Amino acid sequence: MTPEGKVVALIKKRIKEAGGEVRKCSWENCRGAPDLLVMLPGVHAWIEAKAHNGALRPHQVREHARLQNAGCQVYVVCGEDQAESLVSHLVALSRSVEP
């Protein structure tokens, strides 16, 4: 498994353990979209997973900005440590949202 694949697998595992859902997305005719859509109660976030020291390409920066301008939450994680921290943050946010 690639280093980026390990980050994706970790996110999927932790979100599922928290009762959430993760979708690996494929976009037609659109370069630069984030890798994953994470869905927890009251929290929906796009995540771009990178290996350690992974840098965004210009088309990724543009697409992420488009999503953010439309009101979407977009996160970039580099490595498993950042992925763990982000998942913890998203799970905590989800638990703080009133039903």
| CA atoms 88, 94, 35, 47: torsion sign | negative
Domain that holds residue 61: 3-94
* CA 29 – CA 26 distance, rounded (Å): 10
- 38-51 pLDDT, tens digit per residue, is 999 999 999 999 98
Number of domains, the chain: 1
**11 lies in some domain:** yes
Look up the CATH number of the domain holding residue 28.
Answer: 3.40.1350.10
Rounded distance, CA 29 to CA 45, Å? 21
pLDDT band at residue 25, thresholds of 50, 70 and 90? Answer: confident
Residue 99 domain flag: no
Any domain includes 47: yes
pLDDT score of 98 more than 70: no
Q: Tell me the pTM.
A: 0.90
